[in-house]
Structures are given as C-alpha cells and as structure tokens.
C-alpha cells in the first residue's frame, strides 16, 4: 500500500477522533450554559468538571495530530490541507475548525452569562449591606429620590 494513502487514512481517523472530541466539548458547554441559566449549582459543578475533562481530551488529540503531521514532515498547524481529497481529510479538518469556532463562541457566551450574574449578585450584596454606591432609588413618578441614610438590611 502506498505510504501517502496510509497517511491519509491515519490522519482521517485522527481527525474523526478530534471531531468526536470537539462535539463532546460542545455538549459540555451546552450543559454548562443550561446550568448557568437555571442557576443549578450541582449541575454547574458537574458541567464544569465534564468541560475540563473533555477539553483535556480534545487537547490531547490536537497534540497527537500535530505530532503526527510533524512526523510526516508537514508541520503541525496545517490540519489536513496537504493530503489528498480521497480520504476526506480536508473536509474533516474544516469540520474540526467549525466545531472549534462553535465551542469558542459558546464558551464566550457562557462567560458573559457568568459576568452578568456576578454583577447582579454584587449589586444585591451592596444593597443588603447598605452601600451608598448602590444604584439610585426612584419614586413612583420616575423621579430619583434623595438618598437617605441606609442601614444594612441585616441590622433590622
């Protein structure tokens, strides 16, 4: 069997593993998003643990792919661009890239959700502690009320 054909198939199999790994990462990010949206602490802990595990697996596969391409003398960052189309390497590589972009976008969205929840929690804590930097209070007519001396809610 010609070496190029074997190399194409081996790389295609490795990319199939990467695709499965990136789909697992995407699934763990979806679970994290659901847990954040429902503020389910137990589900969030499971999702974060699963995300860490799937990311480690995806990273290991990426390192294997880079090593494989370096052994073939192709350099690690070219994906499957220099292999034949017969094994579908280029298409698989494009799928890996697309899944990576989806994971990055979902991870960024989860980060925004976390930051928003953190701001709301910090604001609620400031109000409970009687912090004068809390947001202004407004009366029924929409006019800002003068700030009165606030005592922490816990002191009542």
Helix (H) or strand (E) holding 46: helix 41-71
Q: Domain ranges in the chain?
A: 3-130
pLDDT attached to residue 85: 59
pLDDT attached to residue 143: 75
- Condensed to tens digits (0 to 9), the pLDDT of residues 72-122 reads 777 645 544 555 556 688 899 999 999 999 999 999 999 999 999 888 888
CB distance 7 to 72 below 8 Å = yes
Classify domain 3-130 at the CATH topology level. Answer: Methane Monooxygenase Hydroxylase; Chain G, domain 1 (1.20.58)
Size of the chain in residues = 156
Give yes or no for residue 50 having a pLDDT over 90.
yes
pLDDT attached to residue 134: 54
């Amino acid at each position: 069997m010609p070496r190029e054909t074997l190399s194409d198939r081996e790389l295609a199999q490795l990319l199939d593993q990467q695709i499965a790994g990136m789909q697992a990462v995407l699934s763990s990010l979806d679970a994290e998003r659901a847990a954040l949206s429902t503020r389910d602490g137990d589900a969030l802990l499971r999702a974060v643990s699963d995300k860490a595990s799937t990311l480690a697996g995806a990273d290991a596969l990426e390192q294997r792919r880079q090593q494989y391409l370096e052994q073939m003398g192709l350099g690690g960052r070219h994906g499957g661009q220099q292999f034949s189309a017969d094994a579908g390497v280029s298409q698989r590589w494009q799928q890996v890239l697309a899944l990576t972009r989806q994971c990055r976008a979902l991870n960024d969205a989860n980060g925004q959700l976390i930051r928003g929840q953190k701001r709301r929690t910090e604001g609620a804590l400031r109000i409970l502690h009687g912090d004068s930097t809390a947001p202004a209070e407004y009366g029924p007519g929409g006019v800002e009320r003068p700030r009165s001396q606030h005592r922490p809610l816990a002191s009542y």
